[in-house]
A and B are shown apart, each in its own frame.
Chain A
Amino acid sequence: DAGVIQSPRHEVTEMGQEVTLRCKPISGHDYLFWYRQTMMRGLELLIYFNNNVPIDDSGMPEDRFSAKMPNASFSTLKIQPSEPRDSAVYFCASSPRDRIDQPQHFGDGTRLSIL
């Protein structure tokens, strides 16, 4: 089975540009999560969806960040405008139905560098 697929793997762009990160969850998984990982703050949950509906976006750092899930097989995380402090590895993860013992399956991440 295909795992969680993220694109691009690496992104380097200049400050002020719009950045779009993409994620395809594992087929049949009802939950999708976006995380950000930095040395200073570790792994932070930004937002998660259940059946394409955003459930908790309290981790989204500011209005420059937005996430959508138009269908069960695709999600985007956008940063507009981007800033150097947004540089991090962004992970997407998915999980099957509402069960406490279900682990999250992570994609390989997108390494984002804002110059």
Chain B
Amino acid sequence: AQKITQTQPGMFVQEKEAVTLDCTYDTSDQSYGLFWYKQPSSGEMIFLIYQGSYDEQNATEGRYSLNFQKARKSANLVISASQLGDSAMYFCAMREGWASYDKVIFGPGTSLSVIP
């Protein structure tokens, strides 16, 4: 079963507008971490932002923020004031467990295109 779901295979946003990329996850663990990565057309994977399951505040990192709704098991990425350089694939990922390391599971990704 899919543990990370990203329902938007592709999205468009006008430059300078905000955009929300959806991510829902499935876990029975109480302790887990959620990550977002960006993959531009050049191919590298760039870490953007992290949200812990016990964090009370939504994570923010510059123009990136997370809309974390634990009860709904969603961790949507919000990009404010979109720029042309934001055009890329975006992956949501989850790590489960606390006491011991577990592998990170990646979602299928969302392709974002920023329109001038």
> Which A residues are within 8 Å of any B CB, using their own CB?
31, 33, 42-43, 45, 48, 50, 55-56, 89, 91, 93, 98, 100-101, 103-109, 111
Separation in Å of the B45 CB from the closest CB of chain A? 4
Cα of A105 to Cα of B50 in the assembled complex, Å:
13
Please pick, from B44, B47, B91, B97, the residue contacting A109 in the complex, using a CB distance under 8 A. Answer: B44
Asked, given contacts A42-B108, A100-B52, A101-B52, whether A106 binds B44 with beta carbons under 8 Å apart, the answer is yes
Q: How many residues of B contact A (CB 8 A)?
A: 24
Give Cα A114–Cα B32 distance, bound, in whole angstroms: 38
Contact A45 B103 (CB under 8 A): yes
What's the Cα separation between A109 and B45 when bound, in Å? 9
**Residues of chain A with a CB closer than 8 A to B33's CB:** 100-101
B109:A42 contact, CB within 8 angstroms? yes
Residues of B near A50 (CB, < 8 A) are 101
Q: Say yes or no: A89 contacts B91, CB within 8 Å.
A: no
B43 at the interface (CB under 8 A from A): yes
Within 8 A of A (CB), among B80-98: 91, 95, 97-98
Q: Determine the distance from Cα of A107 to Cα of B43 in the docked complex, in whole angstroms.
A: 10
B43 and A108 form a contact (CB under 8 A): yes
Tell me the minimal C-beta distance from A96 to chain B in angstroms. Answer: 11
Q: Is the pair A103, B50 in contact by a Cβ cutoff of 8 Å? A: yes
Chain A residues with Cβ below 8 Å from B104 are 33, 45, 104
A-B contact pairs, 16 of them (CB 8 A): A42-B106, A43-B91, A45-B103, A48-B103, A50-B101, A98-B100, A100-B32, A100-B95, A100-B98, A101-B52, A103-B47, A106-B37, A108-B43, A108-B44, A109-B43, A111-B43
